[in-house]
Chain A
């Protein structure tokens, strides 16, 4: 496959998955879609009671170790909190959302039908002097759907989910921008790893998990790692891409490969192996120091049952938790390749590391 074909391939997957909706806690439909994608690579695909999607790729060794690779499939979003008589909808956020990115943002309300809405607020010239320059709270915002209250109440109920409306666009032929790249970019990585391992006889059992509710409670990965009891785990998530507002020690450069995190949350043996593999196979990667909680599923996975050695690979994403998260396509490729090389190591090697 030529360079360009491979790009398209990844971008198409990213588009498909980005436009799939999975607000944390409401992932059922998306889980089924992801399961269908996994089924292209394995006969052992199931969706569990928390809608985690699990996909087992059997190893060649009967006494093989189990390596779990996770990427959460849920996204931030909103729930309908109120509907007023004029048809304006109040919302509450699911997951961490900056209210300052919401004005003039388009959303989809998932009521009896999908309804497009836009987020508005009091116009600037009507603000009180003391409020000018101050950020609005999400409780000050409302969604305008163009419907009157009476009709809207028939279509939308309190508690319905609301997601960002944002199409994927390609920038400078090398990057893409869209919603929910945190963490669909990593779900694309899972698919790319499966693609790389398609014809490879790896010794270890590899269990892919597209997990749920990471943005709120990590209940997905907590229950999945408990149930699956892997010998080691790789968590794939997104990290902050470098932008003018961020210092070097909390961001990584897009296009220069996955961030490999170092710190108490991560298993040193696995981390070192990642760097070694990167060097051996000329896969670029970047180092990130985390003093404690990485803010990812690695935090929960590491202490599941009697403890699971865990490594964290992160795809740099700019403007995380907005509708224009921006990722370098190369990084998805590099991240998948690095994780795949790790998945190829022998059972004995894995035992020694972990």
Chain B
């Protein structure tokens, strides 16, 4: 299964090579040209079939990187100090497994045993800067050798099927988007398609910024994994998305006002094709759409997302049916843009 293969890869922001190589291998025969740019984005170009002069450029984007850690120091006793790459909830870290470097050396994030904690310690969350990773080294020298400064560290978590319809894995944000785009590349349309697998989304949407500048698209669609908080004790209006309720369309989040016409186009396509969809109900989070939208003189941009519970953790959970909805909606939208030639033209017309 493609999502298993993709989430088994490690690609902490700034170190996406493993993911990039895998994707390059998968899409090699599916496009007209492939460019890997200076920051590490893949820009796969698929020429439109239309012979008309005025071909519009559609950019599809998903990020390859995932949240993780980077080695920032070593203690005399051989423990590894680290910093978070991307947004990680301090609370989830103690007692979790990690994998260091290309060789994926096994490590664990330490935590003080409960037997030795006083009352205050029992009630307090330990900040990342006070945590450390044990990689089994007995000295500073040994630790430096095994996990040198700047080494990237990933969560160590196996892809697992949960219940009837769910999947648990790390990095669902945003390997789900990568999986959709690999599928999209098997199809051809009249418009020029630039499928971008971007880097460094988790540290500030940096890959998408330069990819979009290079492509200068007329229209962009971002494929994502997004927050889903439909868990006990959370009010329905704060859930963001509901697992199993279909593809999530963003209206607005922290980084982007999605284009209204595009959102209404996408919901229309979903309804027409009986594809389950929902609106993301909170304005939290953000993604590459924020950067792509404000590229050059502006790009009509929207996001389609797979709801992921426990996002940015080693145990993100998604529903397969939601993933299918996102994939179907993406393809249906592209087909509809292809069929209704006026749509793209009108959409990008400056009033």
Contact of A171 among B77, B136, B227, B232 (CB under 8 A): B136
Q: Is the CB of B125 within 8 A of A133?
A: yes
B162 contacts the other chain (Cβ, under 8 Å)? yes
- By a CB distance below 8 angstroms, the chain B residues around A88 are 231-232
- By a CB distance below 8 angstroms, the chain A residues around B156 are 169
- By a CB distance below 8 angstroms, the chain B residues around A146 are 161-166, 168, 317
- By a CB distance below 8 angstroms, the chain A residues around B61 are none
A116 to B79, CA, bound (A): 31
- By a CB distance below 8 angstroms, the chain A residues around B232 are 84, 86, 88, 142
Contact of A322 among B92, B94, B163, B165 (CB under 8 A): B94
A147 to B109, CA, bound (A): 30
Q: Is the interface of A mostly helix, strand, loop or mixed?
A: loop
Q: Is the CB of A245 within 8 A of B112?
A: yes
- By a CB distance below 8 angstroms, the chain A residues around B229 are 122-123, 126
Contact with A along B228-247 (1 / 0, CB 8 A): 01111110001000000000
- By a CB distance below 8 angstroms, the chain B residues around A106 are 160, 168, 315
A32 contacts the other chain (Cβ, under 8 Å)? no
A240 contacts the other chain (Cβ, under 8 Å)? yes
Residues 132 to 148 of chain A near chain B (Cβ within 8 Å): 133-136, 140, 142, 144-148
Contact with A along B217-234 (1 / 0, CB 8 A): 000000000010111111
- By a CB distance below 8 angstroms, the chain A residues around B123 are 134-135
Known A-B contacts A116-B160, A116-B162, A171-B135; A246 and B96 likewise in contact (beta carbons under 8 Å): no
A177 to B111, CA, bound (A): 13
> What's the minimum C-beta distance from B281 to chain A, rounded to whole angstroms?
12
Q: Is the CB of B138 within 8 A of A318?
A: no
- By a CB distance below 8 angstroms, the chain B residues around A171 are 105-108, 134-136
- By a CB distance below 8 angstroms, the chain B residues around A103 are 89, 91-92, 313
A250 to B123, CA, bound (A): 21
A6 contacts the other chain (Cβ, under 8 Å)? no
Known A-B contacts A104-B92, A118-B168; A319 and B108 likewise in contact (beta carbons under 8 Å): yes
Q: Is the CB of A100 within 8 A of B91?
A: yes
Contact with A along B301-314 (1 / 0, CB 8 A): 00000000110011
Q: Is the CB of A147 within 8 A of B106?
A: no
Q: Beyond A104-B314, A318-B110, list 16 extra A-B contacts (CB 8 Å).
A: A88-B231, A100-B111, A103-B92, A105-B95, A118-B168, A118-B310, A123-B310, A140-B233, A146-B163, A169-B156, A172-B138, A244-B75, A244-B77, A318-B134, A319-B111, A322-B95
